[in-house]
Amino acid sequence: MLTKKQLDLLEFIHKRVQRDGVPPSFDEMKDALDLRSKSGIHRLITALEERGFIRRLAHRARAIEIVKLPESMGGVPSAPTKGFTPRVIDGPHPSPTQPANILPEEVILHAREIPVMGKIAAGVPIEAISHVDHHVAVPGQMISTGGNHYALEVKGDSMIEAGINDGDVVIIREGRTADNGDIVVALVEDQEATLKRFHHNGRSIALEAANPAYETRVYPEDKVKVQGKLVGLIRTY
């Protein structure tokens, strides 16, 4: 999912390539989107590249190639990417005489309680989490067998484009390894914990936000420890 600014920029680049055969300059992009500086364009370009819509080609001026377009611009729907995608678990609906805030008995019977370990930052890393705050009931479909699970309350908005909002409760399967693209709880320098998308490249690990307002943070691989992978999400309205 793209933000309005990202979509506006992609559309502007696409139209200019179709018209002139070459993408616009960064100054032209800045003026077209009415931004104050080219740094904002750099962030939008990086976000579009990370999401696979464009590719920057090395050693060439105005070296931007459009790889795909979103459905709103006539593009083909993308195949699901590896990693977490929020999903709704359907359950029995309450009858007209049943209060909406009371779960049906069959849902309650299949729920499991897991510990809520406190808050996790979806933004700048916060202090590491190591205590049980309370417990939360989770639908059994959300928890895989053969693993320990815990929950964390999200603070911050850096993962909003992955469908994770401030105040959500995320369900984490405990583990020490992750694949590129997984959303993980990462412990940075044994002091701070954060929720980010994981990328391991050589001897470094990048922790990537899902919000162009936040920079991707890169650390030496020995400074980051995976604490678990995201497997579910609970939102209260």
Q: Which residues are catalytic?
A: 158, 196
Query: d(Cα 105, Cα 147) in Å, to the nearest integer?
Result: 26
Query: d(Cα 3, Cα 209) in Å, to the nearest integer?
Result: 14
Q: Cβ(228)–Cβ(175) under 8 Å?
A: yes
Give residues with Cβ within 8 angstroms of 219, minimum separation 6.
188, 189, 204, 205, 206, 207
Give the DSSP letter of residue 123: S
Backbone phi and psi for residue 98, each to the nearest 5 degrees, phi listed first: -100, 125
Residue 62: left (phi > 0), alpha (psi -120 to 50), or beta?
A: left
Query: d(Cα 84, Cα 231) in Å, to the nearest integer?
Result: 7
Q: Cβ(53)–Cβ(68) under 8 Å?
A: yes
Dihedral sign (CA 12, 13, 18, 23): positive
Give the DSSP letter of residue 161: G
Residue type, 74: G
